[in-house]
Amino acid sequence: MNHKYIVTLTDEEREMLQELIAKGRTQGYRIKHAQILLKLDEIPENREWTYDKIREAYHATPHTICQIAKRFVTDGVEAALGRKEQVNRHKKVDGRVEAHIIAIACSEAPEGRERWTLQLIADELVRLGVVESISDTAVMDTLKKTNLSLGKRRNGVSPSRGRNL
């Protein structure tokens, strides 16, 4: 594995990481990242700490170890302690989309079908322009959350359509 990011901690950074580990009152990954950073530090005592040894000792993948080193070198100790920022993690299913999913699931199945499938609902949402794209898994999660099941014969919809109350 290419170890192009060389970690050289200052005395202050080393002390701060050791204090963080000793306190132990933080998210577990921050402690693990601090421990890994301390072992990646280019000091004589760490000569025997290879990526393989670090991987075994802290149950981290070589990729994770490399990313911690990279974030330390490029963005500093705080970035290395944290996790990579998750991009595009917004939920596609808001209340409006959820309402459309439920309405479709409770409606008459498409011609030639006995019931709606998750993929058919997803395709219908796209066709109607409700969303640009959506997975059948997102549809399933929404139906689970709302306690609707495509497998049940009764979805809470009254069998007598058109009856006035």
49 with 75, same domain? yes
Q: What is the mean pLDDT of each run of 10 residues along the chain (165 residues)?
A: 79 93 81 94 92 93 92 90 69 88 93 93 94 91 80 50 44
104 with 63, same domain? no
- pLDDT of the residue at 105: 93
Residue 108, domain extent? 95-145
- pLDDT of the residue at 164: 43
67 with 102, same domain? no
114 with 76, same domain? no
Tell me the CB-side half-sphere exposure of residue 46, using CA atoms within 13 A.
17
74 with 26, same domain? yes
Number of domains composing the chain: 2
pTM: 0.52
- pLDDT of the residue at 90: 63
42 with 72, same domain? yes
- pLDDT of the residue at 162: 46
- pLDDT of the residue at 84: 67
> N- to C-terminal Cα distance for the chain?
71
- pLDDT of the residue at 160: 44
- pLDDT of the residue at 27: 73
71 with 107, same domain? no
